[in-house]
Structure 1
Amino acid sequence: MKLSDFDFALPEHLIATRPAVPRSASKLLVATPDRIEDRVVTDLVDYLRAGDVLVLNDTKVIPARLFGHRDRDGNVSKMEVTLLSPTSNGTWRALVKPLRKVRDGEVITFAAGLEAELLSRDDGQAVLGFNLEGQAFDDALAVAGQMPLPPYIAAKRVADTQDKTDYQTVFARTTGAVAAPTASLHFDTELLLRLTESGIELAHVTLHVGAGTFLPVKVDDVKTHKMHAEWGQVSEDAVARINAAKAEGRRVIPVGTTALRLIESAATKAGQIVPWQGETDIFIYPGFKFQIADALMTNFHLPKSTLMMLVSALMGQERVRQIYDHAIEHEYRFFSYGDSSLLLP
């Protein structure tokens, strides 16, 4: 498999820079091996069965993009910081621009009394120590930070107050992501209520989506690509719901590639999953044997991305090409704020 096998031409105007309003009004492409239907997300209820388990990623995106300054003897330089992930000792890995203008030990000052000391650097990334921790850090970050919009949106416009709502799922509760689980952005309270009233079960898991989700694949032989690691957790409650469904022949349908990657990381064998916590760098590409996921709800992904490889593993490369050709022809909106699909292999 070559990287070019997962490429396609996408018209620029199909890249969404704002979500649909309301959330559940987004278009929904429903695909089986021999059928494609054009619907909207509110129609999801028509395609799910009582007893199906939807697996939702409840990670909460932090306002990880910060703008501040470094003051060296009255010489002030503007700085941009994007938090990537916390470390075990309370520091943060981050991207700092321009990193060359900051010396180790210097402090970057932000709004709301938030400051960060550059402790070290590694492979173009910085390790920062903040002057606040716990709730005080969260409160200051909420004031000083902006939502870390994906590069393809940030290149078109700056993040604003509306993004603090739009780029967060309605069921977000576990803080730690620097990118949203975007398929879940289509759910609002009313849709979730309709689903549960129809007998659909909801299982919540947590995978803190990292900025590495936007990193390009740089190798031509895709099997040699190394995935970025992300922290996740599958609770006992989620395990009980998923295992019961698999044992009874009910479908388990992750919402988003993050939820799918996590439950497949926690699988022990076909139809069985165990409570799990840790970092996963699972790489799913054609030939992968799915142990838990029976279908997938997901947005439309970047060309030549690992997510294109994942949906190709689920539906087949040729079928995914047909699905994406249809989506482009029918003007579906792509990427994080775009429309969605329900893939039923």
Structure 2
Amino acid sequence: MMDENTALYTDDASMDIPESFRLATYSYELPPDLIAQKPSPERDRSRLLHLNRRTGAVAHHLFAELPGLLRPSDVLVLNETKVIPAFLQGKKTTGGRVELLVTDPGEMFGPGEFHAVRTCITKSSKPIKPGSRILVGNGVELECIHAVGPGRIQVRFPVTESMLLNFLEEHGKPPLPPYIHTAKRDEALDRCRYQTIYGRVAGSVAAPTAGLHFSEKLLKELEGMGILVARIILHVGPGTFLPVRTQDVRLHTMESEYFEISDETARNITRAAREGRRVIAVGSTSTRALETAVSEDCHICPGKGKTSLFILPGYRFKIVKGIITNFHLPESTLLMLVCALGGTDRVLSAYRQAVHQKYRFYSYGDASLIAE
């Protein structure tokens, strides 16, 4: 019987899929010891690989050297979302351990005085039954209302909508990705470093990791050389952790994520693009928000909305000319986006060089700049 981890095509059938849409195209070998388990001692002292989109040339730098790789006319687009400590560890009243990731902690569902109810991704030895109680912290009870899908339940919290973020601040932990070991961690360090220095609006359950490398000093240096630093919001949802399970990647569905772009930011980016200046997105989140909000004539539409944009090789970028981003998991939608901008062969070649040079990979790892 086929389970949820089984590919939807046999190997023979997958050969009929065009190579650029074949999941295996985006695979690469990564030694486990290159998966960063903690951040670099200083934010801007991480390494930075520069891949030239036009020539394919690769150069190696420190992130603090970013000003020398950008132009004074560039626009740098940051995502101001803040990570919510939405990861909860608890146990059933029967004693079994439970882990919960609150998927949409930043949204308000109903008036502030209503009891908070949220969908959670669960991990437990046995399925959690409706009506079950989950104990977190010092015996605080949550209630499972019902299952909403494989590994997902609706949970009633013992606080009102208006107090949910306070509850998570007190009882939750930073929602680190599953490839980061959670045993014996310095939670205070993670609360600080799994957050950008410019995060302003709480709403994400994963960090926009490209932004983790920026220090106050570096941002001031970039602005001092004339670079326009524009700011948008996209709240990163749990879909960032979900693997692609179809051999034809075109069949994968992205989970939608909330974003907003102010009038001022939209005007500034639109003007810059029409003047021929480069728009450099900091991270896949900024990239997807901008490419969702832009029209064919390079006009950024301000406002609020949701995006489920899936960017694959063959996509024609309308506004983004470069990206700063971390090194992503094999066969992930994030890697596919990077390949769409930088070229699949060039990006995967750069990744092989990064492995050879022992760059640190994934959320707490090093960064890359893909631009001309």
Scaled by the length of structure 2, what TM-score is found? 0.87
> In the alignment, which of 35, 50, 72 is matched to residue 50 of structure 1?
72
Partner of 1:123: 149
Q: 1:29 to 1:49 in 2, by over 3 A?
A: same
Q: C-alpha displacement at 1:48, in angstroms?
A: 1.4
Q: Structure 1: which amino acid aligns with 2:27?
A: D
Partner of 1:250: 277
Residues 249-282 of structure 1 show CA distances to partners (whole Å, capped at 9, x for unaligned) of 1111110011101110111114211013222110
Is 1:82 matched up with 2:101? yes
> In the alignment, which of 307, 313, 325 is matched to residue 334 of structure 2?
307
Distance in 1, matches of 2:293 and 2:117, equals 28
Distance in 2, matches of 1:303 and 1:116, equals 36
Residues 21-65 of structure 1 show CA distances to partners (whole Å, capped at 9, x for unaligned) of 210001011111322111011111111122311111111111111
Query: RMSD in angstroms over aligned alpha carbons?
Result: 1.9
Secondary structure of the residue aligned to 1:39 is strand
Partner of 2:122: 96
Contact 1:272 1:291 in 2 (8 A): no
Partner of 1:274: 301
Distance in 1, matches of 2:239 and 2:71, equals 35
Is 1:262 matched up with 2:281? no
> In the alignment, which of 30, 33, 44 is matched to residue 13 of structure 1?
33
Q: C-alpha displacement at 1:156, in angstroms?
A: 7.1
Q: Once superposed, which parts of structure 1, at least 4 consecutive aligned residues long, lie more than 4 Å away?
A: 155-159
Contact 2:96 2:125 in 1 (8 A): no
Distance in 1, matches of 2:266 and 2:138, equals 41
Distance in 2, matches of 1:77 and 1:326, equals 44
Q: How does 1:130-279 map to 2 (within 5 A)?
A: 130-133=157-160, 136-154=163-181, 158=185, 160-279=187-306
Distance in 2, matches of 1:156 and 1:228, equals 29
Q: C-alpha displacement at 1:135, in angstroms?
A: 5.7
Scaled by the length of structure 1, what TM-score is found? 0.93
Distance in 2, matches of 1:66 and 1:80, equals 6
Secondary structure of the residue aligned to 1:304 is coil
Q: C-alpha displacement at 1:103, in angstroms?
A: 3.2
Distance in 1, matches of 2:186 and 2:30, equals 23
Distance in 1, matches of 2:97 and 2:356, equals 44
Distance in 1, matches of 2:186 and 2:203, equals 19
Residues 102-139 of structure 1 show CA distances to partners (whole Å, capped at 9, x for unaligned) of 43234323227854222221112111121223564323
Distance in 2, matches of 1:263 and 1:12, equals 33
Q: Structure 1: which amino acid aligns with 2:86?
A: A
Secondary structure of the residue aligned to 1:269 is coil
Secondary structure of the residue aligned to 1:313 is helix
Secondary structure of the residue aligned to 1:44 is helix
Q: C-alpha displacement at 1:237, in angstroms?
A: 1.9
Q: Structure 2: which amino acid aligns with 1:8?
A: Y
Range 86-95 or range 280-289, more displaced = 86-95
Partner of 2:16: none
Distance in 2, matches of 1:268 and 1:115, equals 48
Q: Structure 2: which amino acid aligns with 1:44?
A: L
Distance in 2, matches of 1:222 and 1:104, equals 35
Q: Percent identity?
A: 39
Q: C-alpha displacement at 1:164, in angstroms?
A: 0.3
Q: C-alpha displacement at 1:96, in angstroms?
A: 2.6
Secondary structure of the residue aligned to 2:49 is strand
Residues 2-28 of structure 1 show CA distances to partners (whole Å, capped at 9, x for unaligned) of 111111101111111111121000101
